[in-house]
Structure 1
């Protein structure tokens, strides 16, 4: 999005927020609350319904399980810890074929 469109959108949103009495602090609090809810969710439906796993199971999940779906299907995947690169980096600075036709072999040029 270019800068003019962005500025125009920001101005429009500020006017609309002023029209209905929404302050920036209200918006920031709502966003923070949504982020907390999303982080706490252990199960999520395709429509965005969530459940933390605490308390009574929600109706949407009960219905899905009774229809034959597993709970694991709705489990929110946690991001895997970052894996470090264990393979050594290649040093291409002394590549004798750099810049030649051999350095840029296309898939169609390969013969299996």
Structure 2
């Protein structure tokens, strides 16, 4: 990232932090606590079982590997998952097509 883009991003983040009342100390505290939380879990199953990679491998992971699954499948990536955006509410009360054949037609064309 070039310096101009970096400075622009910093200005934007400072503005948003100010808008939401976030102090740099608040952000620093959250960022300082994050690595500890990330180190606590290195592998996680779909059911929420987790393992930090230390000590004996847990039974759920042993079973998955013996069933042919790769251990990499359960490894937590360093990237965070994208946050899903809440769906926008659509007001259909003034829909001019409500009740018409056009509104009832299927989208399978």
TM-score by length of 1: 0.42
Structure having the higher Rg? 1
TM-score by length of 2: 0.43
